């Protein structure tokens, strides 16, 4: 069981790293920053995975995402001076693999199901799914963005002198 957790932990980190490199390329990130983005993404995503495990705290996905994003922001501020790039360059591609895509998708699915079902009980069920998934998705994104941005403002002096 411990082995399974470890394998999932590293698998999570590996795929988050690949995703971060891909999204770095979309934003025209300098090539020498790819590896740092990948490391930060792997660390952040694996941390979120660990926090949501029943054996390691069983956090709800919203606080887990916020804590992991804060770690991503912190790592980005600390490592950005190594590659002489602003912290945003590192934390944006690292944050993207944590986007709650399934919640967003289920929100749209529930919205369409609401429109297709006029019976009160069925409509009520899909409306519940719509609000539950929509609110979870919105709060995960809000927690992620605030969590990652706070270190930039906490360590303003480091954040704005890394390209010096």
Interacting residues toward other proteins by CB under 8 A: 11-12, 15-16, 18-30, 33, 45, 84-86, 88-89, 91-92, 95-97, 99, 101-102, 104-106, 108-109, 112-113, 116, 141-142, 145-146, 148-150, 152-153, 160-161, 163-164
- Tell me how far apart the alpha carbons of residues 145 and 23 are, in angstroms, rounded to a whole number: 16
Between 22 and 63, CB nearer to other proteins: 22
Cα(50)–Cα(35) distance, integer angstroms: 22
- Minimum separation from the CB atom of position 98 to other proteins (A): 9
Sign of CA dihedral 84, 89, 52, 7: negative
Minimal distance, residue 134 CB to other proteins, in Å? 12
- 37 phi and psi, to 5 degrees? -60, -45
Shortest Å, Cβ 91 to other proteins: 8
Radius of gyration of the chain (CA): 18
Of 32, 97, 36, 108, give the one whose Cα is nearest residue 65: 97
Residue 3 C-beta: closest distance to other proteins, Å: 19
Which residue matches tokens 């944050």?
95
Residue closer to other proteins by CB (options 29, 136) is 29
């Amino acid at each position: 069981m411990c082995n399974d957790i470890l394998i999932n932990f590293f698998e999570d980190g590996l795929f988050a790293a690949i995703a971060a490199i891909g999204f770095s390329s979309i934003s025209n990130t300098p090539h020498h920053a790819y590896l740092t983005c990948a490391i930060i993404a792997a660390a952040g995503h694996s941390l979120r995975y660990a926090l949501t495990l029943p054996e390691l705290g069983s956090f709800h996905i919203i606080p887990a995402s916020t804590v992991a994003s804060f770690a991503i922001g912190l790592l980005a501020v600390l490592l950005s001076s190594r590659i002489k790039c602003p912290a945003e360059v590192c934390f944006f591609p690292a944050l993207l693999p944590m986007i709650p895509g399934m919640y967003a998708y289920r929100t749209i699915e529930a919205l369409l199901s609401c429109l297709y079902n006029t019976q009160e009980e069925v409509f009520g069920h899909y409306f519940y799914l719509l609000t539950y998934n929509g609110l979870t998705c919105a709060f995960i994104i809000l927690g992620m963005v605030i969590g990652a941005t706070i270190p930039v403002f906490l360590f303003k002096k480091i954040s704005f002198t890394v390209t010096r």
